[in-house]
């Protein structure tokens, strides 16, 4: 059964849609894989960030993007936050935003 992908809010979707075209194309491909494989999607496409938070790992000639997401009841994925990565590690600030939103989505 395919998974559905929703966005935390319209701003998250808009931020991701503003990514450079190469990263956006890879992101679209990864979302298709996420819809098909759900939690079975692993490295190098997706990685667990702990506590139910995951990252999609799109890349393009222009750089590297990250879309942080979680699963909610049923076959539903919520994209919580997206950003263009500028450092080797995922910044703690970006993780905090996603974790706060995940709590909200899960009713906590």
The pLDDT profile of the chain, 108 residues, written as one tens digit per residue, is 799 999 999 999 999 999 999 999 999 999 999 999 999 999 999 999 999 999 999 999 999 999 999 999 889 999 999 999 998 899 999 999 999 999 999 987
Q: What is the pLDDT of residue 73?
A: 86
Q: How far apart are CA 44 and CA 57, in angstroms?
A: 7
- Domain holding 42, by residue range, is 4-105
Q: What is the pLDDT of residue 1?
A: 74
Q: What is the pLDDT of residue 107?
A: 86
Q: What is the pLDDT of residue 74?
A: 84
Asked if 2 contacts 75 with a C-beta cutoff of 8 angstroms, the reply is yes
Packing angle, helices 21-37 and 10-17, rounded to 10: 130
Query: Which CATH number is 86's domain given?
Result: 3.30.2310.20
What is the number of structural domains in the chain? 1
- Helix count and strand count (H, E) for the chain: 3, 6
């Amino acid at each position: 059964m395919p998974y559905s992908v929703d966005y935390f809010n319209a701003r998250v979707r808009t931020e991701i849609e503003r990514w450079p075209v190469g990263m956006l194309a890879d992101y679209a491909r990864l979302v298709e894989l996420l819809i098909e494989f759900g939690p079975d999607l692993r490295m190098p496409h997706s990685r667990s960030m702990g506590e139910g938070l995951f990252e999609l790992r799109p890349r393009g000639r222009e750089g590297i993007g990250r879309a942080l997401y979680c699963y909610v009841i049923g076959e539903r994925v919520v994209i919580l936050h997206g950003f263009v990565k500028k450092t080797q590690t995922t910044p703690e600030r970006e993780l905090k935003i996603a974790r706060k939103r995940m709590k909200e989505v899960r009713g906590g």
